[in-house]
Amino acid sequence: MSVTAPLGFIAAGVAAGLKSTGARDVALVQNLGPDFSGAAVFTSNRAKANPILWSQQVVGDGIVSAIVLNSGGANCYTGTFGFQTSHLTAEAVADGLGISAGDVLVCSTGLIGVGGQDFRDRVIAGVRDAIPALSADNGHEAALAIMTTDSKPKEAVVAGDGWSIGGMAKGAGMLAPGLATMLVVITTDAKLTSAQLDAALRSATRVTFDRLDSDGCMSTNDQVTLMASGATGIVPDLDDFAQKLGEICDSLAAQLQADAEGASHEISIEVVHAATEDDAVEVGRSVARNNLFKAAVFGNDPNWGRVLAAVGTTKAEFDPYAIDVSMNGVRVCRSGEPDAPSESVDLTPRQTHVLIDLKVGEATATIRTNDLTHDYVHENSAYSS
Amino acid sequence: MSVTAPLGFIAAGVAAGLKSTGARDVALVQNLGPDFSGAAVFTSNRAKANPILWSQQVVGDGIVSAIVLNSGGANCYTGTFGFQTSHLTAEAVADGLGISAGDVLVCSTGLIGVGGQDFRDRVIAGVRDAIPALSADNGHEAALAIMTTDSKPKEAVVAGDGWSIGGMAKGAGMLAPGLATMLVVITTDAKLTSAQLDAALRSATRVTFDRLDSDGCMSTNDQVTLMASGATGIVPDLDDFAQKLGEICDSLAAQLQADAEGASHEISIEVVHAATEDDAVEVGRSVARNNLFKAAVFGNDPNWGRVLAAVGTTKAEFDPYAIDVSMNGVRVCRSGEPDAPSESVDLTPRQTHVLIDLKVGEATATIRTNDLTHDYVHENSAYSS
């Protein structure tokens, strides 16, 4: 179901030969209206892929009729030819659906530098195959078609008061701030303006996808899109909508974290009593990006010294010698000195919780990351991606 | 030889039981004068180990008579007891040598959180054993005693015009900006004031140790110390001294890079035509810290897309679509588009050169790093360090 759970959306996922495996690699989602409100957030990487450059133009007027996504090639650093490919892809969707190409978002994911004539031909052929396959039953096929090194599709549905939100996501590595190597499509049949969608989406991504930092690497192709059909005719309570949207983003972010390349632990780094939320995020992210800490978690070693060494590199407000650190509920460092012995911490469960108490203020934030494993190195050295 | 190559220095390296292997773990270097000029640079990590806090006080007056270093425990996050241990260690040196404790630098390296009574007892016993072993012949033993996961000692000697400079270093992981997990001791028998030493040392470390970023992790215990005995009575040409000091720092930094934990490639990331040197450093460091790029090099995969994705996360001045990237002499990306095929790049040699041409200005910088390997993950997950 996922993106087709809300009324007014149809989808398809087809195989266009972009993936060498022959798996589905082109996804199409159409909004049938009556509203065509849309909003999107994009990677903050300055090296933006051609589909990002295209989509940023499209979403400017807040009207989105369809979104087409491909795996098997990022169409990034492929020059003006690559930008024309994104444009032609949107045109192919528009021609087939009788809509304007200026209302068609484009997303690509895969290897940077892939986006030549062969890529273009296959994507456009895939669009032509996808159009007749569009159906309210094919949301799952669309979720399958956007997978790259994902081991499973990511989907979620949340019910509101007479309306619903559905979403799909892909992403397995390069998960970092300002989004991740993620493509996310979220749909709703509630009645909302594009400005309302934009505000709700930015608010939700800020505390979900933006706080997932699997490997510190920021993608060139990230895009999180929210589309509203208004098909239920129901204008939702905005706070209620924001909460439900937050839930679906949180679910998809957790699915991305759980399927991160090669990971054997899902680590939640909770920073409490920070002076500001920005401080809490900076501290959490610094620990999330510390390879020595991440390798220690892989080895089930509660090496709190590596946590504090990472905290010490930040500009956040704190006294380095007043901090407490707990791991999976055991306080291993109290006021900057050893507390419970390392042997009392069990890091064997996949779910790992690190609590850092800065003892300064009242702000808090949680950053999600993964451990650094042999499988991560293997997946990212043995194959180009 | 190393630190005892210049006239006026004696050293020792003894085994005090801090290392479970029974290897040497306490080093002592004494300056016999007639001058006792000294300068040091310290980790910029806000979480500073107790020996750092001690040594920062000692070096304030520019007079350094001796330096004592231990492996087998970082004495970091060990509270006031740990600071007292650093103080008592300096006192033990001072008592034995008939000098002032306020002129004795202390360095420690090893696991954070280690620094209790047993640690204190062994370090001080080690100092007492080291004092009678001090000799101009024992520089190599001192270099052995500061090793942690290093596979070999790092030593270098450079001859000046009637004077010389000698140095030793340790460091194998946690090599990052604002120094690294490195302890470095450099000696000279030239005649220089502490202010001259300080200026020369900051200038040399800025473009050598500070540009070595093995794994993005910054240590709590880094210290690079320079001591001058003036034993030759020769006042060197300052530019000549600065150049020779740069040579020795460069040699030691290269030795640290070559022995980085688990590395299979030494990667030099050269950024050219940047608007400013700071821009060049920021770009180089961003690439040096990109796990996906580092894993690709381990796999001998010239994945230039990961280079550009990393460049795109910086604030440096450049047009993301004008950049050239070459790997080992082959231009794989020209003006942001694919150039020579990846197959034409040979990444099998340990020495790997990445050239990034920003095409903006005239500034340049080279950052040294290593690849991300299975052995790195193994060394940092299987053992606490």
| CATH number, domain with residue B59 | 3.60.70.12
Is residue A158 located within the same domain as residue A14?
yes
Secondary structure element (H or E) that encloses residue B31, with its range: strand B26-31
pLDDT at A282 (0 to 100): 94
pLDDT at A180 (0 to 100): 46
Task: Name the active-site residue from B89, B181, B205, B220.
Answer: B181
pLDDT at B385 (0 to 100): 61
pLDDT at B173 (0 to 100): 53
Tell me the CA distances in angstroms from B227 to A322, B36, B39, B120, one per residue in order: 34, 7, 7, 26
Mean pLDDT of chain B: 92
Is residue B24 located within the same domain as residue B131?
yes
pLDDT > 70? residue B172: no
pLDDT at A102 (0 to 100): 97
Say yes or no for a CB contact (<8 Å) between B377 and A219: no
Tell me the CA distances in angstroms from B124 to B80, B90, B118, B138, B170, one per residue in order: 17, 9, 10, 19, 21
Is residue B280 located within the same domain as residue B352?
yes
List binding-site positions of B for substrate. 148, 170, 181, 261, 380, 385
Hey, which residues does B183 pair with through a beta bridge? B170, B223
Residue A181 falls in the annotated catalytic set: yes
What is the distance in angstroms between the Cα of B243 and the nearest Cα belonging to chain A?
A: 31
Instruction: Work out the percent of chain B whose per-residue pLDDT is above 90.
Output: 78
Among B130, B178, B179, smallest CA distance to B10 is for B130
B76 touches chain A (CB under 8 A): yes
ipTM of the complex: 0.83
Q: Which of B73-77, B168-172, B361-365 has the lowest mean pLDDT?
A: B168-172
Tell whether residue A261 is among the known ligand binding residues. Answer: yes
Please count the residues of chain B. Answer: 385
B50 touches chain A (CB under 8 A): no
Residue A257's identity, in one-letter code, is Q
pLDDT > 70? residue B384: no
Is residue A202 located within the same domain as residue A94?
yes
Spatial strand order in the sheet of A164-170: A37-42, A223-228, A183-188, A164-170, A154-159
Say yes or no for a CB contact (<8 Å) between A333 and B217: no
Structure tokens, A305: 């010294």
What is the distance in angstroms between the Cα of A203 and the nearest Cα belonging to chain B?
A: 22
Nearest Cβ partner of B215 from A218, A291, A336? A291
What is the distance in angstroms between the Cα of B139 and the nearest Cα belonging to chain A?
A: 31
pLDDT tens digits for range B103-152:
999 999 988 888 899 999 999 999 999 999 999 999 999 999 999 888 89
Is residue B250 located within the same domain as residue B271?
no
The SS3 assignment for B200 reads helix
Residues in A closer than 8 angstroms to B382, CB to CB, are 299
**What integer is the mean pLDDT of B307-324?**
92
A131 in Cβ contact with A89 (< 8 Å): no
What is the domain count for chain A?
2
Is residue B117 located within the same domain as residue B212?
yes
B131 in Cβ contact with B28 (< 8 Å): yes
Banded pLDDT at B181 (limits 50, 70, 90): low
A78 touches chain B (CB under 8 A): yes
Residues in B closer than 8 angstroms to A321, CB to CB, are 77, 79
Which A residues, 215 through 234, put their C-beta within 8 Å of a C-beta on chain B?
215-220
Tell whether residue A251 is among the known ligand binding residues. Answer: no
- Residue A75, domain extent: 2-258
Is residue A240 located within the same domain as residue A270?
no
Residues in B closer than 8 angstroms to A312, CB to CB, are 45-48, 218, 220
Residues in A closer than 8 angstroms to B76, CB to CB, are 305
Say yes or no for a CB contact (<8 Å) between B305 and A113: yes
Residues in B closer than 8 angstroms to A310, CB to CB, are 217
CATH number, domain containing residue B341:
3.10.20.340
Residues of chain A with pLDDT under 70: 1, 172-181, 383-385
pLDDT at B174 (0 to 100): 47
Burial (CB < 10 A; 0-12, 13-18, 19+), residue B20, is exposed
Burial (CB < 10 A; 0-12, 13-18, 19+), residue A48, is buried
A322 touches chain B (CB under 8 A): no
Q: Which of A225, A258, A291 is the last residue of a domain?
A: A258
What is the distance in angstroms between the Cα of B282 and the nearest Cα belonging to chain A?
A: 14
B282 touches chain A (CB under 8 A): no
pLDDT at A148 (0 to 100): 85
B115 in Cβ contact with B145 (< 8 Å): no
Is residue B212 located within the same domain as residue B360?
no
Which B residues, 147 through 186, put their C-beta within 8 Å of a C-beta on chain A?
173-174
pLDDT > 80? residue B217: no
Q: Which of B210, B239, B258 is the last residue of a domain?
A: B258
Is residue A314 located within the same domain as residue A355?
yes
Say yes or no for a CB contact (<8 Å) between B301 and A384: yes
Residue B40's identity, in one-letter code, is A
A47 touches chain B (CB under 8 A): yes
Is residue B121 located within the same domain as residue B190?
yes
Residues in B closer than 8 angstroms to A337, CB to CB, are 77-79
Secondary structure element (H or E) that encloses residue B86, with its range: helix B79-97
Is residue A193 located within the same domain as residue A284?
no
Which B residues, 98 through 117, put their C-beta within 8 Å of a C-beta on chain A?
111-113
pLDDT at A384 (0 to 100): 65
Q: Cα–Cα distance between B42 and B57 in angstroms, integer?
A: 12
Scan for tokens 């300002």, then name that residue.
Answer: A178
Angle formed by the axes of helices B374-382 and A374-382, to 10°? Answer: 170
Chain-centre distance of CA A173, in angstroms? Answer: 10
Interface probe with A: pick from B44, B292, B297, most Cβ of A within 10 Å: B292
What is the distance in angstroms between the Cα of A73 and the nearest Cα belonging to chain B?
A: 12
pLDDT tens digits for range A283-342:
999 999 888 899 999 999 999 988 998 999 899 999 988 999 999 999 999 999 999 998
Q: Which of B242, B258, B274 is the last residue of a domain?
A: B258
**What integer is the mean pLDDT of B249-255?**
93
Contacts of A307 (CB under 8 A, 6+ apart): A287, A290, A293, A325, A333, A354, A356
Is residue B160 located within the same domain as residue B240?
yes
Nearest Cβ partner of B77 from A218, A337, A381? A337
Task: Name the active-site residue from A181, A208, A220, A369.
Answer: A181
Nearest Cβ partner of B337 from A77, A305, A373? A77
Nearest Cβ partner of B381 from A215, A295, A314? A295
What is the distance in angstroms between the Cα of B293 and the nearest Cα belonging to chain A?
A: 8
Residues in A closer than 8 angstroms to B289, CB to CB, are 216
